[in-house]
Amino acid sequence: MSAPDLDAVFAALADPTRRAILSMLLEDDMAVTDVAAPFSVSLAAISKHLGVLARAGLIAQERRGRVVWCKLEPDALREASIWMQAFGQFDGLDLDRLEDLVTRLES
């Protein structure tokens, strides 16, 4: 996959289970069964999550004998990060001013 589809990347990142899987794979490659172990959902559900991540280009899956291994593919995240950095030119949200505005509007 040359350039990841940002829509697919952000859709994949929208799910907390998939974000947790990516965090796990940040540490090292893992077998699918090891990825599934900490979650209280079926192996089939984890496999669907892994499919979404793979289609978005965020992970690669490789069969080694009878075991399927998952590996993080950081390039897709890099493209999303570059896209998001373009918005860094804006000032951060001033929460104190926002709170003052909400208070004035409520009174």
pLDDT in tens, 27-85: 999 999 999 999 999 999 999 999 999 999 999 999 999 999 999 998 888 888 888 88
Residue of 36 and 92 predicted with greater confidence:
36
Tell me whether residue 1 is in a domain. no
Tell me whether residue 51 is in a domain. yes
Q: pTM of the prediction?
A: 0.76
What is the chain's alpha carbon radius of gyration, rounded to the nearest angstrom? 19
Residue of 71 and 106 predicted with greater confidence:
71
Residue 60 half-sphere exposure toward CB, CA atoms < 13 A: 12
Residue 1's pLDDT band, with cuts at 50, 70 and 90, is very low
Q: How many domains does the chain have?
A: 1
Cβ atoms of residues 73 and 9 within 8 Å: no
Tell me whether residue 20 is in a domain. yes
Query: Tokens in use for 5?
Result: 């589809």
Query: Tokens in use for 77?
Result: 């995240």
Residue of 41 and 88 predicted with greater confidence:
41
Q: Print the domain residue range for 29.
A: 6-106
Q: What is the CATH number of the domain that holds 100?
A: 1.10.10.10
